[in-house]
Amino acid sequence: MSVILKAENISKQYRLGTVGTGTLSHDLNRWWHQIRGKEDPYLKVGAVNDRSAKASEDYVWALRDINFEVKPGEVLGIIGKNGAGKSTLLKLLSRITAPTTGSIKTRGRIASLLEVGTGFHPELTGRENIFLNGAILGMTKTEIRSKIDEIIAFSGCEMYIDTPVKRYSSGMRVRLGFAVAAHLEPEILVVDEVLAVGDAEFQKKAIGKMQDLSTGEGRTVLFVSHNMGSIKQLCTKSLVLENGFANFIGDVNEGINIYLGKKNKKKEKKLADRNDRKGKKSFKFTQISCVDNKKQLVKSLLSGEQYVFNINYQNKTKLYAVAIRLLFVDNKGVVRFLCNNKFSSSEVTFDRKESGVIKCVIPKFPLPNGNYSIHLTCFSSEGIEDDIENVFNFEVIGGDFFNTGKEQVSKDGVLVNNDFLFD
Do residues 72 and 1 lie in contact, with contact meaning Cβ atoms separated by under 8 Å?
Answer: yes
pLDDT, tens only, 58-86: 678 889 899 999 999 999 999 988 788 89
Residue 344 has pLDDT above 90, yes or no: no
Task: Give the span between the Cα atoms of 46 and 16, in whole angstroms.
Answer: 10
Three-state SS for 132? Answer: helix
Say how far residue 301 (Cα) sits from the centre of its chain.
12
pLDDT digit string, tens, across residues 223-281: 988 778 788 888 999 999 988 899 899 999 889 888 877 544 444 457 888 888 899 88
Q: In what order do the strands lie in the sheet with 59-70?
A: 47-48, 59-70, 5-15, 101-106
Residue 408: pLDDT above 90? no
User: Residue 176 in contact with residue 168, Cβ under 8 Å?
Assistant: yes
Quick one: average pLDDT of 34-43?
68
Strand order in the sheet with 420-422: 283-291, 307-315, 354-362, 420-422
Q: Which domains does the chain have, with CATH numbers?
A: 5-9+64-259 (3.40.50.300), 283-422 (2.70.50.60)
Decide which of 266 and 303 is more confident. Answer: 303
Question: In this model, does residue 413 exceed pLDDT 50?
Answer: no
pLDDT class for 110, splitting at 50, 70, 90?
Answer: confident
Confidence of residue 103 (pLDDT cuts 50, 70, 90): very high
Q: What is the mean pLDDT of residues 184-204?
A: 76
The CA-atom distances, in angstroms, between 162 and each of 44, 159, 318 are: 52, 8, 78
Percent of the chain at pLDDT exceeding 90: 30
**pLDDT higher than 70, residue 421:** no
DSSP 212: I
Residue 392: HSE in the Cβ half-sphere, 13 Å Cα cutoff:
27
| HEC assignment per residue over 253-269 | HHHHHHHCCCCCCCCCC
Q: Over the Cα atoms of the chain, what is R_g?
A: 27
Q: What is the mean pLDDT of residues 144-160?
A: 90
Task: Map residue 93 onto helix, strand or coil.
Answer: helix
pLDDT given for residue 415 in this prediction: 39
Distance of CA 175 to the CA centre of its chain: 21
Cα–Cα distance for residue pair 407/174, rounded to 1 Å: 19
Average pLDDT over residues 374-395: 91
334 vs 116, more confident: 334
DSSP state of 216: I
C-alpha to C-alpha distance for 416 and 423, rounded to whole angstroms: 23
Q: Does residue 93 contact residue 222 with C-beta atoms inside 8 Å?
A: yes
Q: Across residues 114-134, what is the average pLDDT? A: 84
Nearest to 340 by CA among 356, 324, 316, 360: 324
Residues 6 or more apart whose CB falls under 8 angstroms from that of 372 comprise 328, 329, 330, 331, 336, 393, 394, 395, 396
What's residue 292's pLDDT? 92
pLDDT value for 290: 94
Percentage of the chain beyond pLDDT 70 is 81
The helix (run of H) or strand (run of E) holding residue 152 is helix 141-155
pLDDT, residue 172, reads 87
Confirm whether pTM is higher than 0.75: no
With contact defined as beta carbons under 8 Å apart, do 238 and 255 qualify? yes
205 in helix, strand or coil? helix
The tens digit of pLDDT for each residue in 205-221 reads: 888 888 888 888 888 99
- The stretch 167-189 carries a mean pLDDT of 85
pLDDT reported for residue 120:
84
3-26 pLDDT per residue, tens? 999 999 999 888 765 544 556 666
Q: Which of residues 39 and 174 earns the better pLDDT score?
A: 174
